[in-house]
Structure formats: C-alpha cells, structure tokens
Amino acid sequence: MTVAPVDLPIDDEDARRIKRGERKTEEGLGRTKRRLTSRWATIAALIIAIFWTIPTFGVFISSFRPAELIQTTGWWTVFQNWGWTLDNYATALQSGNSQLNMAEAFVNSFAITIPAVVIPISIGMLAAYAFAWIDFRGKNILFIGIFALQIVPIQMALVPLLLLFSRGTIFGVPVIQAFGSPGYTQVWIAHTIFGLPLIIYLLHNFVSEIPNEVLEAARVDGAGHGQIFFRIVLPLTTPAIASVAIFQFLWVWNDLLVALIFADGAVAPITKLLAEMTGNRGQDWFLLTAGAFIALVVPLIVFLSLQRFFVRGLLAGSTKG
C-alpha cells in the first residue's frame, strides 16, 4: 500500500536550517566583496567606466542637436556650435511605416520580450533543479550537451527554424497556430531555443550551491521534489533568477537579427523600426541618436529596479565554502 506524502509545514528546525543557509550565503558574499575590493581595482573600474560612457554621452548630446549640426560638426564642439532642439525626438516618435508606428512597435517589443523571458527561465529553472538534485541516467552527458549548444552560432539555426515554422508543426504537432499569432509565437520559440543553454547553465550553478542539509531536512519531513522546488529552491535563488532575467530581457529587447527573420509586418519590435528609421539610403541616420535613447528607457528602468538582485546574483556563484 502506497501512502501519499503529506504536505507538512516547515517547522522551526527547518526554518533555522534555511536561515543558516542564507547566513552562509551572506557571509560568502561579504568575503567575495572584500577579495574583489581594492584601490587599484576601483581606479581601473572607473577608467573603464569613463571610456565606456564617452560614446554614449556623445550620442546623448547629439540627440538634442539640429540635424545640420550633427552632420557637419562633432558633438564635442557643442559649446562652439551652440544649438539645441527636440525635433529629433519628435520625428523619431512619429516615425513608422505603413503597418505600424513607434507606439505600436513599443507594444510589440513588450509582447515579444516578456514571454521570451518568462518561458525560457521557467523551463531553465526546472531543468537546473533536475540537473543539480535529481539523479537519472545520462544526466552528466545531457548537461554537457546542453552546455555545448552555447557555441552553436545563431545564424546556423535560422534556416532550419524557418523551415520548421513554415510547416507550422513541431514533430507533427501544430504548435505555431496553437499559441495564437504566428509572428509572436515564432519569436518566442526562437528566443527560448537560443537562450535556454546559457540560462540552464547559469541557474544550475546557483541551484547547486544550496546547502544539501536544507534539502535533506525537507525530504525527512516528507516533502517531494515539487514542494522542495517551490518552497525552498525558488525563494533561495531569487537573486539568481533576477540576474538571468535581466540578461535575457536585455538580449531580447535589443535583438535585431531574430526580429528581422521572424517578426515581420505588424508584429515588428522597436529595434526593427529603428533600423528602418535611417531611410532607404541611410540619409536620416541622425534620427538614431534620439531613437536609441527612446528604446533605452525600458531596459534602463528594468536594470535599475532589479539592480540589488543583479549584484547579489552575480556574486552568489562564488560563495561556495
């Protein structure tokens, strides 16, 4: 006779074990920060940040300059050739084609990016837990195979994916039409396929760092893999998930290659509209100075809102021991 496991609440001893695991992680973060912090490292980081920021600052200044000044003088001569305008932003916001405008492209970018972040991270988190804490035959070989997929260039998969999507089925199952709009579905699947290898690899490193005694205590209390995953693993790996989510969000939001291939017409994201903003011969390239900062607003808000989790997630993988 098989007795179903009972959903037992986490008692005080389990809570203390989890707290000890969190305290161990925080202590490891402190040690890592102390090892990485030095005067020369800080100076080098400042120098790199300055050189990295100068081109962005130049584009920002140019976005407020008239078109004739942008095309005839450098941005560093702004005080010698004085002139400021918002015409570039007004023109960029009103730009578009026969099928969509800037506002609709923004909506398309959200419609593409949010599922393309949630879907691969959800699958990757489940796979990371399985590779870290579930024993099954061929686990190591399969994990090495997934890790090796990172070296496959995206360009090599574009033609096979196009042939796959043109049929509208995967292994005979009509998947493309089942999700709704074919345009969005193709981009979601493409970004999920391209992002999963790295997402699984990164999340596996974080999940495997959870103290084994915490999971053993949960198993002793009768918790199954589902309870351990949702009640212990997910809360402890929140910084890691946030870090990976930021990376995936930035990659998908700023993507142009996949959008050019799979997102046509009315489902095109803002990056594709920015590429078309320059005109047929590139004569309106100066509008990109304003369009780039319009597209930059959303990723900047996402990064700043999750910056605390981002830093903790980057350091969490180096706290073992």
Q: Are 183 and 259 in contact (CB under 8 A)?
A: no
DSSP string, 114-154: HHHHHHHHHHHHHHHHHHHH---TTHHHHHHHHHHGGGS-H
- How many domains does the chain fold into? 2
Asked if 63 and 160 sit in the same domain, the reply is no
Identify the domain boundary among 94, 126, 150: 94
Q: What is the CATH number of the domain that holds 221?
A: 1.10.3720.10
What is the arithmetic mean of pLDDT over 18-38?
63
Structural domain including 62 reads: 29-94
Q: How many CB atoms lie within 10 A of CB 86?
A: 11
3: pLDDT strictly greater than 80: no
Identify the domain boundary among 63, 94, 125: 94
Residue 224, domain member (yes or no): yes
Asked if 296 and 169 sit in the same domain, the reply is yes
Residue 206, domain member (yes or no): yes
Residue 308, domain member (yes or no): yes
Asked if 207 and 277 sit in the same domain, the reply is yes
Distance CA 164, CA 246 (A): 29
pTM for this prediction: 0.75
Q: How confident is the model at residue 12 (pLDDT cuts 50, 70, 90)?
A: low
Mean pLDDT over each residue of the chain, to the nearest integer: 80
Higher pLDDT, 96 or 136: 136
pLDDT in tens, 250-261: 999 999 888 888
Q: How many CB atoms lie within 10 A of CB 119?
A: 17
Q: How confident is the model at residue 215 (pLDDT cuts 50, 70, 90)?
A: confident
Q: Using a pLDDT cut of 70, give the percent of the chain over it.
A: 79
> Going by C-beta distance under 8 Å and a sequence separation of 6 or more, which residues neighbour residue 259?
112, 187, 268, 269, 271, 272
Q: How confident is the model at residue 15 (pLDDT cuts 50, 70, 90)?
A: low
Asked if 294 and 310 sit in the same domain, the reply is yes
What is the arithmetic mean of pLDDT over 14-39?
63
CA angle 101, 107, 110 (to 5 degrees): 140
Amino acid (1-letter code) at residue 321: G
Rg (CA), the chain: 24
Asked if 178 and 37 sit in the same domain, the reply is no
81: pLDDT strictly greater than 80: yes
**Length of the chain, in residues:** 321
Q: Are 240 and 316 in contact (CB under 8 A)?
A: yes
Asked if 280 and 184 sit in the same domain, the reply is yes
Asked if 261 and 133 sit in the same domain, the reply is yes
Asked if 220 and 245 sit in the same domain, the reply is yes
DSSP H/E element including 285: none
Residue whose pair of structure tokens reads 């970004």 in the numeric block: 191
Distance CA 286, CA 284 (A): 5
What is the arithmetic mean of pLDDT over 163-182?
60
What is the arithmetic mean of pLDDT over 176-195?
75
What is the arithmetic mean of pLDDT over 63-85?
87
The pLDDT of residue 70:
87
Identify the domain boundary among 42, 72, 94: 94
Q: With CA atoms as reference, report the closest residue to 128 among 207, 239, 225.
A: 207
Q: How many CB atoms lie within 10 A of CB 41?
A: 10
Residue 3, domain member (yes or no): no
The pLDDT of residue 118:
95
pLDDT in tens, 277-297: 877 777 778 888 888 888 888
DSSP string, 52-77: HHHHHHHHHHHTTS-HHHHHHS-GGG
Identify the bridge partners of residue 170 per DSSP, sorted by sequence position: 173
The pLDDT of residue 320:
46
Asked if 80 and 174 sit in the same domain, the reply is no
Asked if 46 and 159 sit in the same domain, the reply is no
Q: With CA atoms as reference, report the closest residue to 285 among 111, 115, 118, 70.
A: 70
The pLDDT of residue 126:
93
Asked if 45 and 76 sit in the same domain, the reply is yes
Q: Are 241 and 125 in contact (CB under 8 A)?
A: yes
Asked if 117 and 244 sit in the same domain, the reply is yes
Residue 113, domain member (yes or no): yes
Q: Are 143 and 216 in contact (CB under 8 A)?
A: no
Residue 55, domain member (yes or no): yes
Residue 149, domain member (yes or no): yes
- Quick one: residue 168, left, alpha or beta (phi over 0 = left, psi -120 to 50 = alpha)? left
19: pLDDT strictly greater than 80: no
Residue 24, domain member (yes or no): no
